[in-house]
Structure 1
Amino acid sequence: MVQANPPSTQGYRIGEAAAASGVSAANIRWYEKQGLVAPQGRSDNSYRLYSAADVHTLRFIRLCRAMDMSLDEVRTLLALDLRSKADCDAACVALDAHLGHVRERLRELRALEKDLLALRDCCDGSGPQCRIIETLHARADAPLPGGERGTPATRHV
């Protein structure tokens, strides 16, 4: 493995940890606030210092987040022991739960695709006005489902 910036003799400063892990410095700070990673200490000039194990943890987090896992799911996996059979079972349970979330999102995305295709079919560009925009305005004026006010839209991505 080739590192862009080798760590100082005391450990990786945040920029070095970011370069070595592929996680931005801002996200490293966020993960610290969330309790997912903690710097091993501070240098004489108060820079955060990270160990090689911290960089590995950041890479692990980045990988899990790339698989669209929530911070709670990542936290669960980070807490598990690589060599424990019970923890292996817990990892399987966590992954199965995440698969359920992914499958639900796939259903939502398929419904969204259908809706977008139907919306696109509203207009071929030959009319005096755009039926797509007209339809969107009509939907915006329609009452909210269930008569609720201020209900957030379904998250599709």
Structure 2
Amino acid sequence: MNATPAMHRIGSAARLSGVSAANIRYYEKEGLLPPGLRMDNSYRLYGPDDVHRLRFIRLCRAMDMSLQEVRTLLALDLTRKADCEAARDTLDEHLAHVRSRLAELQALESDLMALRNRCDGSDGHCRIIEALHARADAGALPSTPAAAGVRRHV
């Protein structure tokens, strides 16, 4: 006798996968997850493969991967050598992004530390607030790609 795989409504699939119902709908809209089966009452149903796919997406997103990177990885096959190379290339590109972001964050940390060191609380007024106001008057932003209008990765 064949056992029918358990099917889950969206709330149950969300709990099992750790992905919110809103994100499940979004991932369907983005093509990362096939649309759930619909019951007569229009409830969406998701099977074990869908729950696994949602967990995979959540894992990749937790590693700060873009939707396009996740889409690429989802399209790959575990057994094809070319797909292994594509997965490696995707991760190499993501590592480059992470390293770039680390450099940005280190520059931001240095800037914040320099700002913090302006004031020890013993003066009659706060040198931190003074410096922030001076920067605001000058229109000066931290010198990171994000501040320069460069789009974030995700």
In 2, are the aligned partners of 1:10 and 1:49 still within 8 Å (CA)?
no
In 2, are the aligned partners of 1:41 and 1:48 still within 8 Å (CA)?
yes
Residue 104 of structure 1 is aligned with which of 83, 100, 109? 100
Counterpart in 2 of 1:11? 7
2:93 and 2:43 map into 1 onto residues whose CA distance is 38
Q: Which blocks of at least 5 consecutive residues in structure 2 are unaligned? A: 142-146
Deviation by residue 1:87-143 (Cα, 9 ceiling, x = unmatched): 000000000000000000110111011001000001111111111111111111214
1:96 and 1:66 map into 2 onto residues whose CA distance is 17
The percentage of aligned residue pairs carrying the same residue is 68
2:56 and 2:48 map into 1 onto residues whose CA distance is 12
Is it true that 1:80 corresponds to 2:76 in the alignment? yes
In 1, are the aligned partners of 2:5 and 2:47 still within 8 Å (CA)?
no
**Which stretch shifts more, 33-42 or 22-31?**
33-42
Residue 113 of structure 1 is aligned with which of 104, 109, 130? 109
Q: Which blocks of at least 5 consecutive residues in structure 1 are unaligned? A: 1-7
What amino acid sits opposite 2:97 in the alignment? H
Counterpart in 2 of 1:30? 26
In 2, are the aligned partners of 1:22 and 1:62 still within 8 Å (CA)?
yes
Q: CA RMSD in A?
A: 2.3
Residue 125 of structure 1 is aligned with which of 117, 121, 125? 121
The alignment partner of 1:127 has SS state of coil
The alignment covers a number of residue pairs equal to 145
Moved over 6 A (4+): none
What amino acid sits opposite 2:125 in the alignment? Q
Counterpart in 2 of 1:4? none
What amino acid sits opposite 1:126 in the alignment? S
What amino acid sits opposite 1:32 in the alignment? E
Counterpart in 2 of 1:47? 43
Could you state the TM-score of these two structures normalised by the residue count of structure 2?
A: 0.86
What amino acid sits opposite 2:78 in the alignment? L
